[in-house]
Structure 1
Amino acid sequence: MDTLRKKIKRIKKNIRRRLPETKPVAFITKIRWGRELALRKSREAQLIALPPDEYSKLRFYQFKKATAEFFFQHIGRTDIKVSDTPHYRLAQALIEGNASEIEAGKRFYEAYLAAASQTTGSAPSEPSVEELKRELHNLREHPHKAAPVVVTQILPGGEFFVVEGNHRIAIASALEQEIPVELWPFELAFMKFSPVIEYYGTRHNNRPYSNIYFNQKVAIPGRREDIIERLSMIPREVLNGAKVLDIASNFGMSSILVRSFGAASVQGLEISSSMVDFASRFSMLEGVYPDVKFRQFNIDKDFLGDEERFDVGFMFSIYAHLSKPQHLTRIAERNIGKYIVFESHPGHTYDTYKSFFDSGLFSSVEELGRLIRSVFKPEEKSRILWLCTKAQSD
């Protein structure tokens, strides 16, 4: 009997040990997510009549960090439209049949593919040159058999953005041929074309971490609706003309919005490459790129160069997530010249971060205000925001 009990105990122990590896909550969340997405698509997606002469004006949506850099380098604008894309240029050259234009179009498209191949799963894969040629032939012969191009409006009544089917809409535009176009509400399109667990987390009612803003208006509500409130607590003289470092920038909302609060430029650091892609996308769509840029960065492992200098550092609810929080002190010491804006984790106090605040780097640490834990617990104003002023050496 004792042997059986020990065996059962050992089995239970192994199950408990393996649960974090199998991530059952994440798996269940993914199943529920897929089911909700299918139901919402059946109810909310709708075919729309969009004339072919409007296709070229549709805006490109699926930027990643690398493709944002590509487009800005080659086009010099952030409001990229279908007519600006390599897909359109190559399709038009193939239709016209000019050998030199086809070769130039192929080079341009292949350069784009090289950037797009730095994939993170944050955007659909792009077709090769040969696949695009086949798509051109199929659309020319059977336009109404094409899979619908998916478009969305980030804000109601706003511009149309192509979220899936860039190559098909570019080819159809070059052919001046009508193909099926489906309009999805932005929240639905975002659910479909965004990573599930990484972006939304689990057990959070399919709401992203914070509000998603576009033109300073809420496009999708998040679990935190206080991003603008948080920035409003910071004295304007701290932000005016400042070079800001946003550490653990998530999908970039604070970085993008702080430009409207007077910041001159922002560099966001984020461990997730998918998040960097999303943030770069929003920066392009908002028209603040390249003044607001993002890069992948692991605070526990990576270091900024001493020549990388900023006026203000944002450290929002990051400290407890780090295995080496002393690296934040290093950044504050070597890379930030004037201020750190530091947000606590829910329920934490000054004493939780005493080693950071009392490191000798700051002449003062001032509480700016308190923010709610999340929209699900609005009664808990348990996130404290501090302004840490750097001590200036003589």
Structure 2
Amino acid sequence: MNCDLIRKLRLEHGWSQAGLADKLCEVSQHPTVTRADVSRWERGKRTPRPFWLRHLATVLEVPLTALEADPVNRRAFISEVAAASIAPIVASDLIEHGFAAALTKRPTLDHWHAKLASYGSDYMSLGAAEIQNRLTSDLLVLQQQVDAPGMWEVAAKLMTLYGKTFPGADGSKAVNWYMMAANAADRSDDDSVRVWVRGRAAIALGYEGASLSVAESFANQALAISDRPSLGRLNALMGKAHVAAIRGDSRAARTLAEEGRRVFDAAGSEDQESDYAVPLWRMNVFMSLLAARLGDEQAALRAQDVAAKHLPLSLPRFATHLEMHRGLMMVRAGDRHGGIAYAREALDRLPPEKHSLTLRMLMSEMEDA
């Protein structure tokens, strides 16, 4: 059981141990949990029964599998990759790839930085399945080399991207990979990497509307590490803004978005086609969905116009994001049938191999509204 996660999420909600116990009693309608029980769970002295684990997941707004999992460590790295890779890649090919790398000259840090740049670009245009297949092989090789801060930086960023190939609703995959990436980033001895990994996880989950407490926790961690303007801080602020919007706290969402704009003005990217960048068009994609969730049609349309004007033609998937946002606006305005139909038509126009898990989750958000 992930004892530390229970404590972190409790603190993110601003609850004492007694407060969490009261929430559990209220939700479960079984007034039998006490502050002492919560304390034992957080210290690993006792494991909650399945009944209480389910209610903990509900109260803390986290996938049950994330609470059930043990905290990740380096030894878990290769087993996690292997477990995730059996479906997309034949196991024998993975084994061959790993041993071939071990028997040949060790790739340099420059080699891995080039890989990072390539994946950052490819993620923007390729489907999740293809990225996952390639990353699985490379992570198996990289796992043999994470013995210095520079290699932990590479591992942290690639693991973050790997987490993006799983839907945020799948807590046993996406959330756990983001947590492992954060642990890896801590070994990089570089605060900018620590902030970026946590910020990227926050905006990924917040944009998808998944695991909101985890998204908020990552955002708060990133913001606490450093107050310097950076892409990591920008992602953290925008991720936290989306969490606030989904929860109905429009005032907090707008305040966070304004701070995000100020950080963007100081740290926005010139690079137009990398997952490790936030150029003007991408910032406005973030703002478009945020405004749609807030029901601010004028702000959403302004953001969509700016994003569409600067969006590279080579990235049609993100044009579909903007169309999906318009569908969500229609749903929020009361035209549920029309909004879903509009979004579905936009998604169908995009070739299936270009689909992302995020687009599917946006579709689900409209259908569940």
| TM-score, normalised relative to structure 2 | 0.27
Identify the structure with the greater strand proportion.
Answer: 1
Give the structure with the higher percent helix: 2
Scaled by the length of structure 1, what TM-score is found?
A: 0.26
